[in-house]
């Protein structure tokens, strides 16, 4: 039996690793999976609760990296991961997404001669001021197997000179997680707890440095959400990074319909998101999930590495100003319920296709 090391670091990684772990466990004669958690997100609300909701076991190894600068997280992850990989001697190291742990894992693996597979390869925002874009480019340049979620990702890789034999179009593994936990999502009572009616509120996430690290920009976003909340409840589970800045700038809601909560587990958040009228976010994965669910999504960014969600989905890029947010939320509520075309291979079966490729190539 061959060994597969599955690396997770930040919350979105869990939703991409869980379906693959589950698929490997179903066919245990091929691979034995080991989950390595870097600890890039390390408090319970950002980590452990996601393992519970996704029915994953606790990690076999936790590196305990914690927060830090991009260089610090990347370097420390490589240092702590190397002896773990040496002892484990996996036949393949699977990295997912575009966080610092993804890059660190890919570099550590290839330098040790371990085949590296990158799930969600080829996505590009073409904005190198985003740390995630650097992580994506470098990881794809060194990984042995590149698993793509959409046709334009393969186009990006081929333009960068990647050998087509390394590229495998398998679909969107985030949708696998969504399909897998639908029964759990439906059992969540988050709407009852927050006194919300389906399709009668706005759901918000916000954590990117470009939006939350600059007090003036964050004030504009919060003011827009606060104003929009006077017409319809706006629910904002606040990322710890964002909460620190809110506390630093001393911002307070006006007392209208803006509801600020602690971070939510995967099931609670997905129940909240899937029943919302509109989602306002700066997350990459949420752009995909709202497209699958047919929910209007407003992405507070200048660009996106997931353009397919705009061309074939519900997503729209917007500016972070107060009036922009209010105007776009009001416009998006009018689009709710419009039919959305399905995207090829976003069908909940991506993990199985990944495993088939691994069995043939590793």
Active site residue 207: yes
What the block records as the tokens of 175 is 């949708």
Which residues on adjacent β-strands are paired with residue 87?
Answer: none
Which residues on adjacent β-strands are paired with residue 61?
Answer: 36
Please count the residues of the chain: 362
Largest CA distance in the chain: 60
Distances (CA, A) of 2 to 56, 83, 312: 20, 19, 39
Distance CA 141, CA 154 (A): 13
Exactly one of 41, 118, 207, 239 is catalytic; name it.
207
Mode of pairing for the β-strands spanning 145-148 and 116-121: parallel
Q: Is 12 exposed, middle or buried (0-12, 13-18, 19+ CB in 10 A)?
A: buried
What the block records as the tokens of 312 is 């074939």
Is 105 within 8 Å of 81 (Cβ atoms)? yes
**CA-based nearest residue to 1, from 33, 35, 31:** 31
What the block records as the tokens of 201 is 């509120």
Where in the sequence numbering do the catalytic residues fall? 207
């Amino acid at each position: 039996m061959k060994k597969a090391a599955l690396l997770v670091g930040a919350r979105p990684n869990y939703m991409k690793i869980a379906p693959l772990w589950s698929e490997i466990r179903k066919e245990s004669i091929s691979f034995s999976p080991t989950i390595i958690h870097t600890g890039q997100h390390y408090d319970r609300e950002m980590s452990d609760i996601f393992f519970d909701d996704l029915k994953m076991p606790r990690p076999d190894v936790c590196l305990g990296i914690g927060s830090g600068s991009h260089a610090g997280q990347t370097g420390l992850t490589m240092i702590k991961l190397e002896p773990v990989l040496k002892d484990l001697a996996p036949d393949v190291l699977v990295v997912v997404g575009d966080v610092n742990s993804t890059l660190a894992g890919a570099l550590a693996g290839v330098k040790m001669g371990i085949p590296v597979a990158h799930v969600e390869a080829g996505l590009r925002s073409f904005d190198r001021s985003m740390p995630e874009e650097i992580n994506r480019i470098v990881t794809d340049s060194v990984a042995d197997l590149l698993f793509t979620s959409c046709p334009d990702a393969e186009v990006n890789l081929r333009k960068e000179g990647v050998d087509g034999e390394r590229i495998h179009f398998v679909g969107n593994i985030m949708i696998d997680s969504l399909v897998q936990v639908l029964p759990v999502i439906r059992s969540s009572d988050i709407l009852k707890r927050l006194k919300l009616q389906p399709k009668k509120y706005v759901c918000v996430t916000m954590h990117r440095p470009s939006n939350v690290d600059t007090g003036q920009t964050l004030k504009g976003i919060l003011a827009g959400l606060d104003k929009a909340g006077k017409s319809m409840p706006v629910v904002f589970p606040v990322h710890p990074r964002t909460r620190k800045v809110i506390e630093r700038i001393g911002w307070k809601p006006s007392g209208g319909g803006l509801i600020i909560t602690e971070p939510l587990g995967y099931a609670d958040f997905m129940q909240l998101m899937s029943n919302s009228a509109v989602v306002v976010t700066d997350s990459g994965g949420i752009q995909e999930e709202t497209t699958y669910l047919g929910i209007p999504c407003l992405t507070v960014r200048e660009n996106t590495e997931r353009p397919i969600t705009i061309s074939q989905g519900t997503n729209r890029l917007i500016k972070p100003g107060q009036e922009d947010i209010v105007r776009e939320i009001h416009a998006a509520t009018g689009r709710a319920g419009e039919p959305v075309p399905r995207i090829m291979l976003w069908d909940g079966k991506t993990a199985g296709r990944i495993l088939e490729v691994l069995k043939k190539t590793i």
